[in-house]
Amino acid sequence: MAAYQIMIEGELDKRWLVKLEGLDVFHAENGQTQIVGVFDQAALHGVLNRLRDLGIELISIQRIDSENIKEKNENTKQN
């Protein structure tokens, strides 16, 4: 499976965070939210479809090395 970083505009409410259990979610001061985790293709498409259905603006999606997830998370926490 591949790891992905999804950036969206705005923050997700607590109900949505429960649905993303197992993924790392970070809210940035600029109002954007980063979702990072390991997805199979079906799960990735499911997350993207839910974001679309909620009318949430997708900023970017990037495939990342799953070994770098911890490093990306630490960088986000520091910013």
Q: Express each pLDDT in 1-59 by its tens digit.
A: 789 999 999 988 888 777 777 889 999 999 999 999 988 889 899 889 988 988 899 99
Specify the pLDDT at position 77.
54
pLDDT band at 65 (very low <50, low <70, confident <90, very high): confident
- In the three-class reduction of DSSP (H, G, I as helix; E, B as strand; rest coil), residue 23 is classed as coil
CATH at residue 26 = 3.30.70.980
* pLDDT over 80 at 66, yes or no: no
Whether residue 79 is contained in a domain is answered as: no
Whether residue 10 is contained in a domain is answered as: yes
| Average pLDDT for 52-79 | 75
What residues make up the domain containing 17? 2-64
Beta strand pairing call for 32-39 and 24-27: antiparallel
The owner of tokens 């979702």 is 35
The owner of tokens 């997805």 is 39
How many domains does the chain contain in total? 1
- Helix, strand, coil in percent for the chain, rounding step 5: 40, 35, 25
